[in-house]
């Protein structure tokens, strides 16, 4: 990286880190119950509120945002297409199917076990998507996301059908629409597993960047392409499944964040991956705060807010792109 | 030395390569020529372990392709495929830097940076090194890819039609650069070429393929004769000698 580029990225890094810190503090302060900061340490109830509800909720939003942004980035690398992400290409829907089936047959399964089932289902669903996506000609870049939408839609329809038959439709909305209002201490910690996946992604960032150059280039540079594909699949599936199980699906994060970061900084993941993670965290936390404020004291689920905000950003990206060319 | 023994390849019902045996000694430029669909690219990708070997054996410097670990081969041999697309937004210097991946697995040492600088210089990319690859012209992009293969620092370079997209000036520059690195660095270069006069001017040896078989093999002056060329490409062409170099007038 050149000196100018390095300086620019360190400046962007400061801005991103500072924004996240500000959002973090805001998120701790915004809520229905009164939590005066001045009396935080003298008033036992205020401290309890912070530790049991506000802090877990804030951390959950950060972990979900960072994880989903990275999952999107890796999915785009694996599919070699910028317009796919877990929630639009069958990964999230497969995870929902997995958790639905496990709820149906083993209603008393623990959250961890449900997460495992959801991850396994997400893995299978994503594998099928990728195997098909790799058959499309690279000259038709929009076939892959279109196929993803149809594929995800079909699995989603199957999920709805099964849920309807089993009278579990109400459960379903818990997984399909992301919402942090139910997050309490002891009910979000699985998301740290997603953070571990982000760390793994950062460790193999160079390999991922090379994978984006294609199979032949990867093999030529001595990378075990098949193994990396498996690793990428696991990262995407586990992160998506955990988000679905713990907070429900949050759309668009994995789509818009990697695209914006790529536009600003390029695709050398050794440098950009931390920004993708931090920006994802900022976006989701910001949307959650917004959802808490819009019709205070009531809440709008983050999935809904994100659907609007993310959709608008995505449209802007698409139009910007066509005017660039 | 690249040793290819009794290699055959088929895709479904189509036999792509028929029992090919070929030895390419260390050093120099070997050009693979022949009509479209002759199997040149397939042969190259088999040597570079991009597809599994179905029949026969291939070794590079005594290392058997297929049993040698991928990352070890990546330090012996580099390949540039035809029509490589760089869809990622990488700067030229970053792209060339990834050529060093087999050596440090991503960690660049001062030596690596020196190699990267030399590759950029060798292929006239120093001024472009901070540009994103996607903003380059087709020819510049092609040079960046060749520079990346060169930065890999392997003794063997396999290039599949690297002159695609290059204008006359840069095609000549690239061939001269390859000549230089073959002479000065002792590289062994195997290159698929469609421009027969580039092969005649810059290669030490020409191997001609047709329908999955090797049909001729020799020095440019031995191979570029009207009779042999007709056997390879199926039409008459005049060959003149200019400065001891055979020039094929194939466009007449």
The pLDDT confidence band at residue A4, using thresholds 50, 70 and 90, is low
Residues of chain A in contact with residue B49, where contact means CB-CB under 8 angstroms, are 219
Q: Domain ranges in chain B?
A: 1-76+154-223, 87-153
pLDDT at A179 (0 to 100): 86
Average pLDDT over all residues of chain A: 87
Q: How far is A293 from chain B (nearest CA, A)?
A: 38
pLDDT at A325 (0 to 100): 40
pLDDT at B83 (0 to 100): 73
State phi, psi for B27 to the nearest 5 degrees: 90, 145
Q: Give the domain CATH number at A116.
A: 1.10.3470.10
pLDDT at B187 (0 to 100): 92
The CATH number of B1-76+154-223 is 3.40.50.300
| Facing A267 at nearest CB: one of B45, B50, B88 | B88
pLDDT beyond 70 at A169 = yes
Tens of pLDDT along B186-240? 899 999 999 899 999 999 999 999 999 999 999 998 898 889 989 899 888 888 8
Asked if residues A72 and A86 have their Cβ atoms less than 8 Å apart, the reply is: yes
Asked if residues A220 and B146 have their Cβ atoms less than 8 Å apart, the reply is: no
The Cα–Cα gap between B173 and B146 comes to 12
pLDDT at A321 (0 to 100): 62
Burial class (CB in 10 A: 0-12, 13-18, 19+), A164: exposed
pLDDT at A20 (0 to 100): 93
The pLDDT confidence band at residue B96, using thresholds 50, 70 and 90, is very high
The pLDDT confidence band at residue A155, using thresholds 50, 70 and 90, is very high
Subunit contact B130:A213, Cβ cutoff 8 A? no
Tens of pLDDT along B196-209? 999 999 999 999 99
Range with lowest mean pLDDT among A31-40, A127-136, A296-305, B151-160: A31-40
* DSSP line for A89-135: TTHHHHHHHHHHHHHHH-TT--HHHHHHHHHHHHHHHHHHHHHHHTT
Query: Angle A175-A179-A181 (CA atoms, 0-180°, nearest 5)?
Result: 130
Q: How far is B90 from chain A (nearest CA, A)?
A: 6
The pLDDT confidence band at residue B164, using thresholds 50, 70 and 90, is confident
The pLDDT confidence band at residue A107, using thresholds 50, 70 and 90, is confident
ipTM for the assembly: 0.88
Percent of chain A predicted with pLDDT > 70: 94
State mean pLDDT over A182-200: 89
pLDDT at B102 (0 to 100): 93
| Facing B87 at nearest CB: one of A5, A205, A212 | A212
Residues 156-215 of A with CB under 8 A from B: 205-207, 209-210, 212-215
Residues of chain B in contact with residue A217, where contact means CB-CB under 8 angstroms, are 81, 84
pLDDT at A6 (0 to 100): 66
Range with lowest mean pLDDT among A111-120, A168-177, A218-227, B61-70: A168-177
Residues of chain A in contact with residue B93, where contact means CB-CB under 8 angstroms, are 1-2
Q: Which domain holds residue A256?
A: 3-324
State phi, psi for B230 to the nearest 5 degrees: -65, -40
| Facing A213 at nearest CB: one of B88, B91, B106 | B88
Asked if residues A59 and A278 have their Cβ atoms less than 8 Å apart, the reply is: no
Number of domains in chain A: 1
**B153 CB near a chain A CB, below 8 Å?**
no
State mean pLDDT over A270-287: 94
pLDDT at A63 (0 to 100): 95
The Cα–Cα gap between B37 and B232 comes to 12
């Amino acid at each position: 990286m050149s000196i100018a580029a390095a300086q620019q990225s360190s400046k962007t890094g400061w801005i991103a880190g500072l924004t996240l810190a500000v959002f973090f503090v805001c998120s701790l302060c915004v809520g229905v119950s009164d939590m005066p900061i001045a009396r935080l340490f003298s008033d036992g109830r205020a401290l309890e509120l912070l530790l049991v509800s506000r802090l877990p909720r804030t951390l959950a939003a950060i972990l979900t945002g960072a994880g989903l942004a990275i999952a999107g980035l890796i999915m785009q690398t694996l599919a070699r297409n910028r317009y796919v992400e877990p929630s639009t290409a069958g990964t999230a829907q497969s995870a929902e199917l997995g958790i639905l089936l496990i709820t149906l047959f083993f209603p008393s399964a623990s959250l961890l076990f449900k997460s495992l089932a959801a991850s396994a289902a997400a893995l299978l669903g994503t594998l099928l998507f990728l195997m098909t996506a790799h058959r499309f000609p690279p000259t038709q870049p929009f076939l892959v996301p279109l196929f993803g939408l149809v594929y995800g839609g079909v699995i989603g329809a199957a999920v709805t059908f099964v849920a309807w038959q089993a009278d579990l439709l109400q459960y379903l909305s818990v997984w399909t629409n992301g919402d942090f209002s139910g997050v309490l201490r002891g009910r979000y910690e699985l998301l740290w597993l997603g953070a571990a996946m982000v760390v793994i992604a950062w460790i193999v960032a160079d390999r991922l960047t090379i994978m984006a150059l294609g199979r032949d280039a990867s093999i030529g540079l001595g990378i075990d392409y098949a193994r990396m594909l498996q690793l990428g699949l696991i990262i995407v599936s586990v992160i998506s499944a955990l988000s679905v199980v713990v907070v429900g699906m949050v759309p668009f994060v994995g789509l818009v964040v990697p695209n914006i970061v790529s536009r600003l900084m390029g695709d050398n993941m050794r440098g950009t991956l931390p920004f993708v993670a931090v920006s994802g965290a900022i976006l989701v936390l910001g949307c959650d705060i917004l959802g808490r404020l819009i019709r205070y004291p009531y809440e709008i689920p983050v999935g809904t807010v994100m659907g609007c905000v993310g959709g608008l950003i995505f449209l802007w990206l698409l139009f910007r792109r066509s005017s660039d060319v | 030395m690249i040793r290819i023994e009794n290699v055959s390849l088929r895709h479904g019902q189509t036999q792509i390569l028929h029992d090919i045996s070929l030895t390419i000694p260390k050093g120099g430029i070997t050009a693979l020529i022949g009509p479209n669909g002759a199997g040149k690219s397939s042969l190259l990708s088999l040597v570079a372990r991009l597809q599994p070997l179905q029949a026969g054996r291939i070794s590079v410097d005594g290392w058997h392709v297929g049993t040698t670990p991928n990352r070890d081969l990546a330090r012996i041999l580099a390949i540039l495929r035809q029509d490589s697309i760089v869809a990622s937004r990488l700067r030229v210097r970053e792209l060339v830097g990834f050529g060093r991946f087999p050596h440090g697995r991503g960690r660049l040492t001062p030596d690596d940076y020196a190699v990267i600088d030399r590759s950029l210089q060798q292929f006239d990319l120093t001024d472009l090194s901070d540009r994103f690859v996607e903003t380059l012209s087709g020819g510049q992009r092609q040079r960046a890819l060749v520079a990346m293969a060169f930065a890999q620092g392997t003794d063997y370079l396999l290039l599949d039609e690297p002159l695609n997209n290059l204008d006359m000036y840069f095609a000549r520059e690239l061939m001269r650069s390859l000549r230089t690195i073959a002479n000065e660095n002792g590289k062994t270069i195997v290159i698929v070429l469609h421009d027969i006069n580039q092969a005649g001017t810059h290669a030490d040896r020409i191997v001609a393929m047709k329908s999955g078989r090797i049909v001729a093999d020799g020095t440019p002056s031995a191979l570029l004769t009207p009779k042999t060329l007709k056997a390879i490409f199926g039409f008459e062409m005049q060959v003149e000698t200019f400065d001891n170099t055979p020039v094929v007038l194939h466009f007449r």
